Structure 1
Amino acid sequence: MNDMNSATLSPGAAATLREAVPAAGATKPHTVNDNAMIRAVAELTRDLNAANPRLYWADFLASAAIGYAGLFLTIGAGSTLAALGWAAMAVLGLYRAASFIHELTHIRHASVPGFRLAWNLIAGIPLFVPSFMYEGVHNLHHARTRYGTAEDPEYLPLALMKPWTLPLFVVTSLLGPIALMFRYAILTPLSLLIPPLRTLVLERYSGLVINPAFRRRPPEGAARRDWLWLEGATSVWAFGLLVAVITGVVPLRGFLIFIGIASAVMLLNQIRTLTAHLWENEGEVMTVTAQFLDSVNVPPPGPLAELWAPVGLRYHALHHLIPGVPYHNLAEAHRRLTAALAAESSYHRANYDGLPGLVARLARSSFRGAGEIGN
């Protein structure tokens, strides 16, 4: 990989890199753009768009193998301490494997042949989150005029909501696997017989969203075909697993351990989601820079971010600037931009130290907002 800095830029772009960018003191920060930063991002990352198939396959398969090994070792553990250790291994492995669903929504499938099918068979279907629940939804979150508005399926102004919404937002994720299993094992087959229920399932229960007002449109063309086979396969798996537990083919203890680990995976992802943005927009259309500053990077040296924000998610703000760059190139993109952009650049204002500080900031914002409403 080439070592790039401001010297590799076109003369016009290079001249702007050291421009001081005014702090966000404008009357309406959501209308301000840091054009110097945006030009630098375009110039410095244009060679980082190619996905590395070998890295995708090796990372995903290793993560899934670790996760499922941890699951089976947890089921067979002879002591509580050993079970907890193996369970932690299972959660982290499956969480990283499942996080590749984010990459599926951004990479060209031809660049990593067979990866989408393999991900669904190994992670998506077994964990009740087939890729159609994210594809066609997540791209709306990146739409220029949708981000942070009522039309964004992945946004809520959490920093401006009641303080009790934050723990509720996190804790409800523990019920995710049960809700998803019910959706596929019970609602899916019933909805084929009851048209109004089918409409409800398609609109309300077919996306990994956090905005309760979002309604999904029915898929068309190739997306519809993919949706149907993935939904059917997940329904067969969920219904078969339920029957196997009821008939005793699958021991109840093993099933509960599986659900517990899946719940922990969703809990960890929900905590990560809680800190992916600052959640401070009140529904107004935002500039690219404002969207970037409402998002979060947690770059090195903190090592733990790679565990709770894996597969490039620790560079979530940067990802909003360059969504087409694969996860394995984001660290290099961040290194180049950090070195090239002046300290006054907006780019550095989206970098945070770690999870505790982000959670505390969000909690303070929520309590402050509640106090202002009460006055």
Structure 2
Amino acid sequence: MRQAHGLTADLTTPDRTIYWLDLVLTATVAWSGLWLAATARHPDVIAAAGLVGLLALYRGLSFIHEISHLRPKDVPGFRLGWNLLIGVPLMTPSMMYEGVHNLHHAKHRFGTAKDPEYLPLGRYSPFKLGLFAAISLLAPLGVILRSGILIPLSFVIPPVRRFVRTKLSALVINPDFVREDNDKTRPDWLAQEIGCWLWCWGVAALTVAGVVPVRVVLTWFALFSLATFVNQLRTLVAHYWENDGEMMSFEDQFLDSVNVPPPALLPFLWAPVGLRYHALHHLLPRLPYHNLGKAHARLSAQLAATSPYHRVEEKGLFMALGKLFRRAGVTPLTVEADPVERQSA
């Protein structure tokens, strides 16, 4: 860790221009792609616009991870801008990740029952892994239910408010995670919740009135659903998921995480905004996403060949998923070979 910090000390400052330019361009492409896919008539145009809109929407949504690590002074106004352009329109505001994701990085929580973003997926059956991925397709339905029904109800029914705050206000993997409820909602978080509520009701009213075509809403639902599915597949290969609740050393935590570096090109699409360097992110969580590639190149070149840093690389999404499913028992005869494959990666 000391070596890694020393080699990347000059890469920890976020570039505000990159953040804002990336966000604005991504949001523009996402919503333009969605609108074109929802209004075009030619199947090829619909397919192309839908694919571009899907990838841009997914990239935009992925910024929520970066926001959870940014301090307000790092990129002033970025959190508000992201919520206006992406978070509220997808009814997935930043408050659902802030104060939650940092617990995943806590050394005494990682991989334990207190980690909101960890399950022993490496020990799951193929069926359970498939179900874990497929359930993400219902995400749009979940945010509509939360924003359009439960949030307004929670302001008049205290038990519903408590349930929403503790169980429905965090993007997590661990279903047993309960968010602390201290009865003090931050004003900006409250504004995000009200914004999602009003957005949901506003779109519904405009759709019923015929102002917003039903096809636009259905396209939004489809692209958002597919974006969360891609993210769930990425989640499956972000770690090796081998721990079963025990406390782990920092090195073991790092070795449980995964990088998918160049020369692979597709991770730029399915693991955007620096998510392809997930192991590096766990090693140095303060590095901004636009500097992770530079940091990885330095560490790869200057750390000894025996360094643990070289043991956490995968070549691509499908290869990593294949290893996970083989460990889960899809092809039992190859399970014993996996540890060797991992050590030689």
Task: Give TM-score, length-normalised by structure 2.
Answer: 0.93
Deviation at 1:289, TM superposition (A): 1.1
Sort the Cα spacing of 1:185 and 1:115 in 2 relative to 1 into closer, same or farther, 3 A: same
Match of 1:116 in 2: 79
Deviation at 1:369, TM superposition (A): 11
Match of 1:268 in 2: 230
State the AA in 2 paired with 1:291.
Q
Deviation at 1:218, TM superposition (A): 2.3
State the AA in 2 paired with 1:41.
A
1:186–1:239 contact (8 Å) kept in structure 2: no
2:326–2:332 contact (8 Å) kept in structure 1: no
Task: Find the partner of 1:258 among 220, 236, 248.
Answer: 220
Task: Find the partner of 1:356 among 298, 307, 318.
Answer: 318
SS in 2 for 1:47: helix
Aligned equivalents of 1:239 and 1:217: distance in 2?
A: 28
Match of 2:89 in 1: 126
1:185–1:242 contact (8 Å) kept in structure 2: no
Deviation at 1:370, TM superposition (A): 9.4
SS in 2 for 1:310: coil
Task: Find the partner of 2:153 among 172, 176, 190.
Answer: 190
Aligned equivalents of 1:185 and 1:233: distance in 2?
A: 11
Task: Find the partner of 1:57 among 17, 20, 26.
Answer: 20
Aligned equivalents of 2:331 and 2:154: distance in 1?
A: 41
Match of 2:42 in 1: 79
Aligned equivalents of 1:251 and 1:63: distance in 2?
A: 24
Match of 1:180 in 2: 143
Deviation at 1:178, TM superposition (A): 1.2
Aligned equivalents of 1:304 and 1:369: distance in 2?
A: 26
2:126–2:330 contact (8 Å) kept in structure 1: no
1:162–1:369 contact (8 Å) kept in structure 2: no
Aligned equivalents of 2:24 and 2:252: distance in 1?
A: 37
Superposition pairs of residues 126-145 of structure 1, within 5 angstroms: 126-145=89-108
Deviation at 1:352, TM superposition (A): 1.0
Q: Does residue 366 of the first structure (1) align with residue 289 of the second (2)?
A: no
SS in 2 for 1:367: coil
- 1:48-71 deviations in whole A, cap 9, x for unaligned? 110000011111111111111111
Match of 1:106 in 2: 69
Match of 2:342 in 1: none
Task: Find the partner of 1:202 among 162, 165, 173.
Answer: 165
Match of 2:4 in 1: 41
Identity percentage of aligned residues: 49
Superposed CA RMSD in Å reads 1.7
Match of 1:26 in 2: none
State the AA in 2 paired with 1:256.
L
Match of 1:320 in 2: 282
Deviation at 1:219, TM superposition (A): 5.5
Match of 2:306 in 1: 344
Q: Does residue 148 of the first structure (1) align with residue 111 of the second (2)?
A: yes
SS in 2 for 1:111: coil
State the AA in 1 paired with 2:171.
L
Unaligned runs of 5+ in 1: 1-37
Aligned equivalents of 1:80 and 1:165: distance in 2?
A: 35
SS in 2 for 1:110: coil
- 1:128-187 deviations in whole A, cap 9, x for unaligned? 110000001000000010011000111111111222111111111111011101100001
Task: Find the partner of 1:333 among 289, 295, 302.
Answer: 295
